[in-house]
Homo-oligomer: A and B are copies of this chain.
Amino acid sequence: MSTERSFLAALRALPNDPAARGLLDDAAVLEIGGVRLVLTKDMLVEGVHYLADDPPADVAWKLLAVNLSDLAAKGARPRAALLGYMLGEEAWDLAFLAGMQTALASFAVPLLGGDTVSGPAGSARVLSLTAIGLADGPVPSRSGAEAGDLLWVSGSIGDAGAGLATLRGELAGSEPLVRRYRAPRPRLEAGQALAPLVSAMMDVSDGLLIDADRLGHASGVGTTLELEAIPLSEAFLVACGSDRDARLRAATAGDDYELLFTAAPGRASQLLALAETLGLPLTRIGRIEAGAGLQVTEHGAAVALPDRLGYEHGTG
């Protein structure tokens, strides 16, 4: 089995186009005749990215939402989707379609086409979606963070991971945590409002620590993340508490689909005012420094990095 890391290294060595952003970003940005298209494609595999007994309507929602989250991170508004669908059991298929219709309507995105295939008997179902967005202004990359910038995140971190643990019977979490796992909300409005204010932005899909490390790496800077500053929800606090282990759990769990971004310190009051307007917390969780690598602190003292910073299952 290839490791994803070695495959991606080979993929990135192919000759590529500036629009590909080195295959290091959440999405491609293609400028054609004054129009700025943002393109992303994410797949979900049964048993890997969703559970076989997850409700099909939730799987449909998630398939669209994870793609729209990439658009959100680039400040784009969704314009269209293409679906790659593997047929299975008919009741599941129809429930999936009904869920997809709800999700498409909720985000006002038309489904423009795609492909429908059959898989061999017993194969895991594979679902694919391509989302096409339009950006009206600047499209933040992962690579624009500069020493001196502050590191911010939207919403709360760790809820989806706690929801997954609940579904697996490993945690006594509440329904809101499960909803965060099954039905993530892409931060589209926030992404569009943040795009002109940030120096770098991405979505948190694989875990706060691994994604912060990627942002620092893409920008050629060091990242310091303050564990005590990570925003946790009430539901997470009830289920997991807020000690160091709980915070590390939240920061390595994945599936948050929040926005992680950097901005010059002078932007702070503007960002806090924007949070009020959006009704979505924007929380300063660290800082960017000259150098390289990820450092985690707790009340100023260095904390050893966990062995696993998050999931490695996505190119964006």
Contacts and interface: CB of A to CB of B under 8 A. Distances in A.
A165 interface: no
Contacts of A111: 11, 14, 16-17, 20, 23
A279 interface: no
Interface stretch (A32-40, A173-181, A228-236, A283-291): A32-40
A305 interface: no
A268 interface: no
Interface string A99-122: 011001100001111111111101
A30 B112 contact: yes
B20 A120 contact: no
A267 interface: no
Contact of A82 (B7, B89, B130): B130
A167 interface: no
Contacts of A117: 43-45, 48-49, 126, 313-314
B90 A6 contact: yes
A128 interface: yes
Given A19-B80, A43-B84, A128-B41, A4 B116 contact: yes
A112 B39 contact: yes
Interface in A199-251: none
Contacts of A40: 82, 113
Nearest to A126: B126
A116 B6 contact: no
A8 B115 CA distance: 10
Nearest to A6: B90
A138 interface: no
Contacts of A114: 41, 315
Given A2-B87, A123-B124, A41 B10 contact: no
A289 to B, nearest CB: 29
Contacts of A280: none
Contact of A80 (B7, B28, B315): B28
Contacts of A105: 15
A268 to B, nearest CB: 32
A132 interface: yes
A37 B46 CA distance: 32
Contacts of A33: 33-35
Given A14-B100, A20-B111, 10 more contacts: A1-B87, A2-B94, A6-B90, A17-B112, A19-B80, A37-B37, A41-B82, A43-B115, A43-B117, A48-B118
